[in-house]
Homo-oligomer: A and B are copies of this chain.
Amino acid sequence: MITVNIIGSGNIAQHLITNFENSDTVILKKVYARNSNALPSNLHISKIITDIAHLTQADVCIIAVSDSAIQEVSENLPFTNQFVVHTSGTMPMQCINDKNRKGVFYPLQTFSKNKEVDFKTVPICLETESESDYKILEKLAFSLSEKVYSISSEQRKSLHIAAVFVCNFVNHLYKIGNDICVENNIPFEILLPLIEETASKIEYLTPSEAQTGPAIRNDNNTINKHLEMLNDITKKEIYTLLTQSIQKDANKKL
């Protein structure tokens, strides 16, 4: 069995708490959160502590707080030479205070409070200072997920940018699609099969192979009609820039 402490009450902390509480191989010892109201209801009240000085040791102490708070929280931990990891996609491993052994446990997924996530399919990116700590963290990760990767701090920074493009920015394009539907009395659900197919296509095709639409066809007639119809300046700019970028990439390949 692996014993774990969690610090934090945000989306990731909540998902980790819920999963560890249901785990056969992980014992969740304590949870420290400034805002204990946000913690999941299946967490027993005896496990919640409100003073970080009362945190005791565990095999892994997971700091799942906002990026800007990691350094301070790791300084305030009331123990030394323990194994402490953070869950951030952007912060280097080194931001954890030197008094403890450092690591990163970064689940690469989009977590929203009102949508459950099947952790088995969530890639977990690990980084540690030593091989022995890697083995502990790997065991913890495999207790949650089938997909565990060794990713350095440098790689993780780039991976996080890639994630912003394929998740946050993609969702914003869904938002624009939704806006256009609402403005024209079209139910947004009509776009859902297209969205699903676009996402599942790239499990079989590379994104370059999967590219369709007026930009890659150099269909200037359609592109110009679309630009004429788009009233919103920002939407027009996004349409223009992404069209140019698709065409630039296609020309590179030639």
A112-145: CB near B (< 8 Å → 1, else 0) gives: 1011010001110100000000000000000000
Question: Is there contact, CB below 8 Å, between B172 and A184?
Answer: no
Size category of the A interface is: 35 or more
Question: Is there contact, CB below 8 Å, between B192 and A202?
Answer: yes
A219-247: CB near B (< 8 Å → 1, else 0) gives: 10110011001100011011101101110
Q: Please pick, from B123, B167, B172, B222, the residue contacting A246 in the complex, using a CB distance under 8 A.
A: B172
Q: Please pick, from B157, B173, B187, B219, the residue contacting A173 in the complex, using a CB distance under 8 A.
A: B173
Chain B residue with minimal CB distance to A242? B169
A25 at interface, CB cutoff 8 A: no
A21 at interface, CB cutoff 8 A: no
Question: Is there contact, CB below 8 Å, between B203 and A192?
Answer: yes
B residues in contact with A238, CB < 8 Å: 165, 169, 241-242, 245
Q: Please pick, from B112, B159, B165, the residue contacting A186 in the complex, using a CB distance under 8 A.
A: B159
Chain B residue with minimal CB distance to A149? B190
Question: Is there contact, CB below 8 Å, between B226 and A194?
Answer: no
Question: Is there contact, CB below 8 Å, between B171 and A158?
Answer: no
The smallest beta-carbon distance between A50 and chain B, in angstroms, is 25
Question: Is there contact, CB below 8 Å, between B245 and A234?
Answer: yes
Question: Is there contact, CB below 8 Å, between A151 and B186?
Answer: yes
Question: Is there contact, CB below 8 Å, between A241 and B241?
Answer: yes
A34 at interface, CB cutoff 8 A: no
A69 at interface, CB cutoff 8 A: no
The answer to whether A191 and B245 touch (CB under 8 A), given A168-B211, A171-B212, A183-B158, is: no
Interface residues of chain A, those whose CB is within 8 Å of chain B, are 67-68, 90, 108-112, 114-115, 117, 121-123, 125, 147, 149, 151, 154-155, 157-178, 180-181, 183-187, 190-216, 219, 221-222, 225-226, 229-230, 234-235, 237-239, 241-242, 244-246, 248-249
| A-B pairs with beta carbons under 8 Å apart, 19 shown | A90-B225, A114-B209, A115-B205, A147-B190, A154-B184, A155-B184, A155-B186, A158-B183, A159-B186, A159-B190, A161-B226, A165-B174, A167-B198, A168-B211, A169-B238, A169-B246, A176-B245, A178-B206, A199-B199
